[in-house]
Amino acid sequence: MEKFVIEGGKKLSGEIRVSGSKNATLPVLAATLLTDSVCEIRNVPKLRDTMTMCKLLRSLGKTVEISPTKIKISGSANNHVADYKLVSTMRGSFCVLGPLLAKLGKAKVSMPGGCIIGVRPVDLHMKGISALGVKSGFEGGYVLAQASRLKGAQMYLGGTFGSSVLATANVMMAAALAHGETVIESAACEPEIEELGDFLSAMGAKIDGHGTPRIVINGVRKLNGVNYKMGSDRIEAGTFLLMAAATKGDIVVKDANYNHMLALIDKLNSIGVEVNKVGSHDLRIKSRKKLRPANIVTHPHPGFPTDLQAQYMALMAITPGVSLITDRVFPDRFMHIAELNRMGAQIRRDSGSAIVEGVKQLFGAPVMASDLRASAALVIAGLAAKGKTEIHRIYHLDRGYENLDEKLLQIGAKVSREKE
């Protein structure tokens, strides 16, 4: 295994480029199961998760060719079993369920895994495919599902903690080849769903409303191949903004979509950080003033994203005053608290919230990454801390941040990747 070693206290400056969206790429790759024609997808981030999805597609019968600039996928899916060894490592791979049902009429998909950030049931997935006429059950850790023909239906996909991105994606992909019209009420509105809808439309699907709470899909008989470029990763971009804020930096984040990050940008502006558009695709962030603490509550898009909650907590940990951080999406997503406290933070858990008493200075320490976004929070803390921080288990980081150490070196960070 490898670790990050960070010498903190360096102000970040310069330009840093955002990679393609991981959370959008995974369902887009899964959607290639819906066609036998060639799909070429560009701007795919070279991450552990995207490579896992490519392995899963190969196991299902697809031919996958990976080059530095694109991923080319061809051939027919001929295996309906998504194996535990692959699906258990990454929750996003569960979105092969919908396209397998649409293409092969049956699917046996392992229950998903991924980061340990709290209970993430698949009930909305099952509710959605059941409405399309699928009979399903559970056996030996797998979801078993079958349908002679998918039929369009109207359904409500709201859950206890809001809508589900992956459940919405699974239903969209299944409904694309279903007979008749499907209406998804309380659909996820995340940009990743909008991107999937654009990709399916480019393949010939008839979809309206993706990116809104009501999506209408009119099934077609066949989908075509496509040449498509993935949009940028809003969570990576947001992480870079928070890194600059924590280090009193001045950086330009290239290929960042301003419209996808309004909740974060509004919060940063309110605490004293300047974030401005530079041209049509870049953002400049300057953090020179004394920052003010501010509460956040995470919600599904367009609310403050749960995937930036840990990183924001790292910033509040060094912002004098008290802030309250509440996660309405994953109320148990607080495993990073203990590791931040090892560095001198003063954070305590209170049910689904964290109370952060900001300190003047964090201090470098050996810490352990528990999940993907917690890892990013520890990087932010390490960049801002005094002294050396060692972050262990950085394979979590490699699941969601492409060449993070190399990118940080370009903007003045002192970070190295070393063997344990």
Confidence of residue 117 (pLDDT cuts 50, 70, 90): very low
Taking residues 136-158, what's their average pLDDT? 94
* 76 neighbors 39 (Cβ within 8 angstroms): no
Dihedral angle computed from the Cα positions of residues 321, 326, 331 and 333, in that order, rounded to the nearest 10 degrees: -40
CA distances from 164 to 137, 158, 201, 335 (A): 20, 7, 21, 22
How do strand 321-327 and strand 366-368 relate by DSSP bridges?
unpaired
Quote the CA–CA distance of 98 and 106 in Å, as a whole number. Answer: 9
Q: Sheet containing 346-350: which strands, arranged edge to edge?
A: 296-298, 321-327, 353-358, 346-350
Question: Tokens 């003045």 map to which residue?
Answer: 412
Confidence of residue 119 (pLDDT cuts 50, 70, 90): very low
Task: Give the 3-state secondary structure of residue 354.
Answer: strand
Confidence of residue 113 (pLDDT cuts 50, 70, 90): low
Residues 6+ apart with CB under 8 A from 349: 334, 337, 355
Taking residues 26-53, what's their average pLDDT? 96
Query: What percent of the chain lies above the pLDDT cut of 90?
Result: 89
Active site residues: 115
Residues 158-174 pLDDT 10s: 988 788 999 999 999 99
Taking residues 205-226, what's their average pLDDT? 98
- Sign of the alpha-carbon dihedral angle for 134, 137, 143, 146: negative
Confidence of residue 141 (pLDDT cuts 50, 70, 90): confident
Task: Please state the pTM of the whole predicted model.
Answer: 0.95
Taking residues 357-379, what's their average pLDDT? 96
Residue-range domains of the chain with CATH: 2-19+232-419 (3.65.10.10), 22-229 (3.65.10.10)
